[in-house]
């Protein structure tokens, strides 16, 4: 387990990897940056897992359900020794399996995703089996807030509550955006804690970029015996680079090499990057 004080540096390294993947084809940079701190915190402070125990049935499981934020996962796995850092340079190469959505060819990735609304039910199945076998390990599923539009998420919520799966933990990366729109302007989700609570889940919220708050939020799982838990992590799309934060058009980005260098500077606290490539809005 890393020291809490070391996490900001690790997060910065992860974000740098993400920015470097946002060129020569690009990546979904907005969501990757919003969940980078969550992933860093989970892998260093919460999950009972290590690169040596990828097949250990008593490990904790983490499923990345929204999928398109996988650059942050690749980067976290690279920084923590699950995969070689050099593989990140092969992002989008046909010679590697590092592409826009997760897949199990990458050590540490539990299951493929990209089609939204799948992995809460897959995680539910894993949690059921752990219960059947009397295991103590836990299953974490990261959901996008836009992903909550999918009805299958709420099916899984009903079933997880019915089976009292208190070893199942959903984490909503609440960055307030779905692809190209603010959730509250397109399909409003609030009051979101109430929705989960009314489905039988115990719910907390935390600042998804504040490691002390995350530490407290993950300290006492489950939040209620016999109930699945959900943490709504308030996050910022594009977090760490003010010039692309909270931007509807910086969902997916494919920057020039010069822009990447400028964005890396901005990430380290230097002047705001000047972006010439256009934002991307797909409607």
Q: 14 or 168, CB closer to other proteins?
A: 168
Min CB(104)–other proteins separation in Å: 7
Q: What residue ranges bind other proteins (CB under 8 A)?
A: 57, 104, 110-112, 115, 117-133, 151-152, 155-156, 158-159, 162-163
CB of 241 vs other proteins, minimal distance in Å: 32
Minimum Å gap between C-beta 142 and other proteins is 15
In the complex, minimum distance from the CB of residue 183 to other proteins, in angstroms, rounded to a whole number: 22
Nearer to other proteins, 110 or 259 (CB): 110
The distance of closest approach from Cβ of residue 265 to other proteins in the complex, given in angstroms and rounded to an integer, is 40
Nearer to other proteins, 118 or 239 (CB): 118
- How buried is 55 (Cβ within 10 angstroms: 0-12 exposed, 13-18 middle, 19+ buried)? exposed
Which residues neighbour 213 within 8 Å (Cβ) at sequence distance 6 or greater?
206, 207
Least separation in angstroms between CB 132 and other proteins: 6
Which residues lie below 8 Å from residue 169, measured CB to CB, with a gap of 6+? 138, 139, 140, 141, 221, 222, 228, 229, 230, 231
Nearer to other proteins, 142 or 260 (CB): 142
DSSP-derived pairing of the beta strands 177-178 and 181-182: antiparallel
Peptide bond into 61 cis (omega under 30): no
Comparing CB distances to other proteins, the nearer of 122 and 172 is: 122
Cβ atoms within 10 Å, residue 254: 15
Nearer to other proteins by Cβ, of 163 and 265: the residue is 163
Give the number of other CB atoms < 10 A from CB of residue 276.
10
Contacts of 79 (CB under 8 A, 6+ apart): 10, 13, 14, 17, 85
Provide the minimum distance between the beta carbon of 197 and other proteins in the complex, in angstroms, as a whole number.
20
Residue closer to other proteins by CB (options 150, 176) is 150
């Amino acid at each position: 387990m890393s020291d809490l004080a070391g996490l900001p540096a690790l997060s910065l390294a992860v974000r740098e990897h993400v920015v470097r993947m946002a060129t020569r084809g690009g990546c979904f940079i907005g969501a990757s940056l919003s969940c980078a701190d969550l992933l860093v915190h989970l892998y260093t402070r919460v999950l009972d897992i290590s690169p040596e125990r990828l097949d250990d049935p008593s490990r904790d499981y983490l499923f990345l359900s929204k999928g398109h934020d996988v650059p942050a996962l690749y980067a976290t796995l690279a920084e923590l020794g699950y995969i070689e850092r050099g593989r990140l340079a092969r992002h989008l190469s046909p010679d590697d399996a590092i592409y826009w959505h997760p897949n199990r060819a990458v050590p540490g990735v539990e299951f493929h995703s990209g089609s939204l609304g799948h992995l809460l039910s897959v995680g539910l199945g894993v949690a059921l089996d752990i219960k059947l076998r009397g295991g103590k390990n836990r299953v974490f599923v990261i959901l996008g807030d836009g992903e909550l539009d999918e009805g299958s998420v709420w099916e899984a919520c009903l079933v997880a509550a019915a089976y009292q799966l208190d070893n199942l933990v959903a984490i909503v990366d609440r960055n307030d955006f779905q692809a190209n729109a603010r959730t509250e302007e397109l399909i409003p989700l609030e009051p979101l804690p109430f929705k989960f609570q009314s489905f039988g889940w115990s719910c907390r919220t935390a600042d998804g970029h504040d490691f002390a708050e995350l530490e407290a939020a993950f300290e006492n799982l489950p939040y209620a015996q016999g109930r699945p838990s959900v943490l709504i992590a308030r996050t910022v799309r594009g977090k760490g680079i003010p010039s692309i934060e909270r931007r509807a058009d910086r969902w997916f980005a494919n920057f020039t090499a010069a822009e990447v260098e400028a964005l890396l500077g901005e990430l380290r606290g230097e002047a705001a990057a000047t972006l010439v490539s256009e934002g991307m809005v797909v409607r």
